[in-house]
Chain A
Amino acid sequence: MMSKGKSYYLIPYYLWIALFVIAPVLLVVYYSLFDLEGKLTLNNYVNFFTPVYMRMMLNSFWYAFLITVFSLLVAYPAAYLLTRTKHKQLWLLLIILPTWINLLLKTYAFIGIFGTFGPVNNFFDLVGLGEQQILFTGFSFVFVSVYIFIPFMILPIFSALDEMNLSLVDAARDLGASGWTTFRRVVFPLTISGVRSGCMAVFIPALSLFMITRLIAGNRVITLGTAIEQHFLVTQDWGMGSTVAVFLIAIMALFMILTGGSRKGVRG
Chain B
Amino acid sequence: MKNRRRVKNKNGIANIYLVLVFLVLYAPIFYLMYYSFNSGGTMHKFEGFTLDYYREVVADTRLMIIVINTLVIALLSSAIATIIAVIGALAIHHVRSRRAKNTLLSLNNVLIVSPDVIIGASFLILFTIVGIKLGFTSVLLSHVAFSIPIAVIMILPHLQEMSPTLTDAARDLGATRRDVLTKVILPIIKPGIFSGFFMALTYSLDDFAVTFFVTGNGYSTLSVEIYSRARQGVSLSINALSTLIFLFTILLVIGYYYLNQRKSRPPVQIAEPVAEAGVPR
| A147→B118 contact, CB < 8 A | no
B175 within 8 A of A: no
Grouping DSSP codes into helix (H, G, I), strand (E, B) and loop, the B interface class, with mixed when no group exceeds half, is helix
Q: Which of B55-63, B71-79, B182-190, B221-229 contacts A (4 or more CB under 8 A)?
A: B221-229
For chain B, give the interface size range: 35 or more
Q: Mark A40-70, 1 if CB is under 8 A from B, else 0.
A: 0000000000000000000000000000000
Q: Given that A6-B177, A108-B238 are contacting pairs, would A151 and B277 also be in contact in the complex, using a CB cutoff of 8 Å?
A: yes
List, in ascending order, chain A residues with CB within 8 A of B246's CB: 101, 105
Find B28's partner among A6, A21, A31, A109 (CB 8 Å cutoff).
A109
A27 within 8 A of B: yes
| A117→B44 contact, CB < 8 A | yes
List, in ascending order, chain A residues with CB within 8 A of B272's CB: 156, 197
Kindly identify, within residues 93 to 136 of chain A, every residue whose CB is under 8 Å from any CB belonging to chain B.
Answer: 93-113, 115, 117-119, 122
| B281→A242 contact, CB < 8 A | no
| A24→B123 contact, CB < 8 A | yes
| B249→A101 contact, CB < 8 A | yes
For chain A, give the interface size range: 35 or more
Q: Given that A112-B234, A201-B274 are contacting pairs, would A21 and B110 also be in contact in the complex, using a CB cutoff of 8 Å?
A: yes
Q: Given that A27-B125, A27-B129, A147-B24 are contacting pairs, would A101 and B29 also be in contact in the complex, using a CB cutoff of 8 Å?
A: yes
| B29→A248 contact, CB < 8 A | no
- Measuring CB to CB, which residues of chain B are less than 8 angstroms from any residue of chain A? 14-15, 17-18, 21-22, 24-29, 31-32, 35, 42-45, 83-85, 87-88, 90-91, 94, 104, 107-108, 110-111, 113-126, 129, 145, 148, 177, 202, 205-206, 208-209, 212-213, 222-223, 226-227, 230-231, 233-234, 238, 242, 245-246, 249-250, 252-253, 257, 272-274, 276-281
- Apart from A107-B230, A109-B28: 4 A-B pairs, beta carbons within 8 A: A20-B145, A102-B245, A118-B44, A245-B122
